[in-house]
Every structure is written in C-alpha cells, then in structure tokens.
Amino acid sequence: MTDISTATLASHQGTGAVTLENVTVTFNTDRGRVTALQDITVSLPEHGFVSLLGPSGCGKSTLLRVVADLLDPSAGDITVLGRTPEEARKSRELGFVFQDAALLPWRTAIENVRLPFQVGGGARGEAESPEKLLELVGLKGRENAYPHELSGGMRQRVSIARALVCRPRVLLMDEPFGALDEITRDRLNEELLRIWEATGTTILFVTHSIPESVFLSQQVLVLSSHPGRVRELVDINLPYPRKLEVRDTPEFTAIAAHLRRLLETC
C-alpha cells in the first residue's frame, strides 16, 4: 500500500491503457461554478483491474464519463490506448456497463446483446459471438428470455455480455452491482473476475464498497471530495484466482482497514 502523489502516478504505471494528465472538470450550476475533478493525473495499466473508490460526490462517475467520451474535461489531456476518448469510442475499443442494466424490454437476451451491431456501425474487427458471450456470463439456455423473465443479476449479466460483444479493450463499469442483494453481488463479483481473466480486458470499476474493491482489484484508486482529487493508489497484493474466502484472511482485512481510514479522512 503505497502513498503516491498525483505527479508520480503516471510514471509509476508506465504508458497505460487509460492516461489522464491534469484533468479538471467544472460545471456551471445555479449556485455558481463547481469543480467536480481537479488535476487528476493517473495512468491505468493495460489488462489491469482498477477500482475507483471515494465518498459520494467525489467525482467517480464523472471520471468514468470523461474517459468514455460522454463528457468533455474543462482542462487536461486524456488518452485511451494512445488515442483520444472519441477515437477509442468510435473504434469500439471502449465498453460501458451502467448500474441499471438498461435492456430493451421488447427484445430477448440475445437480441439485446446483438443491439450494438445494429446501432453502432458494426464491431471492431471480429466480433464475439452473442451466444458464446451469454454462455460466458452464465446464461446459456436463457438466450430467448425477455428482461422481465430474468432476475436483476441475470439482467446485469446480459448488460455485461452486450458491452463485450464488440471486443472492447477497455471496459468501464459504473457501480454495476450496487442495486443487487449481497448474495447475488458476491456471485457476480466472482463471475466478473472469471470474465476478466478470460478476456484480458482492462477494467475500470466504480464502487462504494470497500470489500468489493479489495476483492476484485489489482489496484484501488481512492479519490477525495470537494473537489475530486487523487488521494492514494493502493496496490492489492492478493493472488489470483480469488475466492470469497479470501475476505476472511488477515491480509484482506488489513487492506480494507487501510482503505476505510483513507475514506474517513477524505
């Protein structure tokens, strides 16, 4: 667990899949100009799993939206796989999973997974098979089910399959399991690690859960609030593959306690 300043984060990680240099985001509101993120400098490793953790309102989702080309930064530079976010988005190298699965209710699971082919101009290179992706996320045999016939966890699995169908090299996930019950969330945490290891996709994952961030990640990027700044980059030195039992180990407990102390002083 290393305390690293924003000035040295990029050099600590190398070139990275996602690189932000002095990124600031401000908004005009009824109460004046508000700074959501300030001077974010960080480089995230390719094929890595990094979680964003911080108090409510610290800018976690805003940072994800900037990387996804859904929001322009007010200052600073961003590259995704050496390109601008816009270029990465248009070349289908970015995938996004929201907290709400956002499936079309009149389409079956497999039709929802196929949707990016029909609305975005096709896939980047060779696409993944929708059938194989539904099998990968544990939904073999439910291809023709409609969203109302699936549980919340199953709908989120469909959403993940849809995000992976164009073989993105970077997958952005904004609290995808936040609305699920604890048992389902635990099960999907294990499934997500299996999918990550199978695909080699770089994942940037927003969460409010300290145990979830420790269980999933190679690194946790802690943001402080008002405005959002990099507080610390915490290395999670727990071996993969990980099972839920790792949460009972002294090593896991020590990392979680360190992250909690950081959040209490953000």
CATH architecture of 1-93+209-266: 3-Layer(aba) Sandwich (3.40)
| Helix intervals (H) in the chain | 6-13, 60-67, 85-90, 109-119, 130-136, 152-164, 182-199, 210-216, 250-264
User: What span, in angstroms and rounded, lies between the C-alpha atoms of 255 and 14?
Assistant: 24
Q: Are 142 and 154 in contact (CB under 8 A)?
A: yes
Residues 180-210 have pLDDT tens digits of 899 999 999 999 999 999 999 999 999 999 9
Q: Are 229 and 35 in contact (CB under 8 A)?
A: no
- pLDDT number for residue 14: 42
Worst-scoring range by mean pLDDT, 5-14, 104-113, 116-125, 244-253? 5-14
Q: By percentage, how much of the chain surpasses pLDDT 70?
A: 91
Look at residue 230 and give its three-state secondary structure: strand
Residues 122-178 have pLDDT tens digits of 544 456 789 999 999 999 999 999 999 999 999 999 999 999 988 899 999 999 998
Choose among 232, 151, 246: nearest CA to 189: 246
Domains of the chain, by residue range, sit at: 1-93+209-266
- pLDDT number for residue 129: 87
Instruction: Provide the pLDDT confidence category of residue 2 given band limits of 50, 70 and 90.
Output: very low
C-alpha distances in Å from residue 146, one per residue of 63, 94, 149:
33, 26, 5
Instruction: Provide the pLDDT confidence category of residue 228 given band limits of 50, 70 and 90.
Output: very high
pTM summary value: 0.89
Q: Are 132 and 96 in contact (CB under 8 A)?
A: no
- pLDDT number for residue 127: 61
- Segment 94-111 shows an average pLDDT of 94
- pLDDT number for residue 16: 83
Instruction: Provide the pLDDT confidence category of residue 9 given band limits of 50, 70 and 90.
Output: very low
